[in-house]
Amino acid sequence: MNIFEGRISSSGFASGDRIVIGDWENSPLGAFTNVMWAKPDGTRVLLSPSQEHAEYVSSLYNFEEVHIVPMDVNRQSKSIEIKAPPLNVKLRWGIGFGLPIPRPRWFISTVEQWFAKAFFGTSTHGLTCNGLKEWYCIYYLSKIKHASAHLDGKNLGNIRNFEINACFGFSEPPKKPSSVRLRSMIEST
């Protein structure tokens, strides 16, 4: 089982761009941060810090473009700022709520799966693009209070809900801009 522990933060913007930041403190690939970006035309882009990370992540999720870019990450307890050319993104969240205890995979794939679908439009269990089972054990869910993003210096506009699916993988981010502290568990090949 490959275990990733960290945070996924996401927001839509008035431009129609949808941005998901994966900030992983512990993983089989070490600590790393990447950006999944859905452009208004539906093009899915992965911005990754290395070829190794890009190959692993793009084997799990769908992208039309994959770019290896320098990642300047400034994280605080309730915010993250990413400079990953051509994008600069800042997200800030509140305290949040959740279940800070581990739960078994069967619980995540049944009870939590139902709850996530019914209340947030997300999934906590599914198959990756290469057919591996994945579970999201959510510890805390926080509302994004502030989001800003710039593409080559151009402001992408005000924070927005995810009104159009990003279609990266089996689960969409919550519709409302959110930051989720979690453990991702992926079957080993």
For the segment 52-96, what is each residue's pLDDT rounded down to a tens digit? 999 999 999 999 999 999 999 999 999 999 999 999 999 999 988
Which stretch of DSSP H or E encloses residue 54?
Answer: helix 51-60
pTM: 0.94
Q: State the pLDDT at residue 174.
A: 84
Grade residue 171 by pLDDT with cuts at 50, 70 and 90: confident
pLDDT value at 166 more than 90: no
Closest alpha carbon to 61 in 26, 85, 29, 34:
34
Q: What residues make up the domain containing 139? A: 2-186
The Cα–Cα gap between 83 and 88 comes to 4
- If one counts the domains in the chain, the total is 1
Closest alpha carbon to 90 in 103, 79, 106, 76:
79
pLDDT value at 151 more than 80: yes
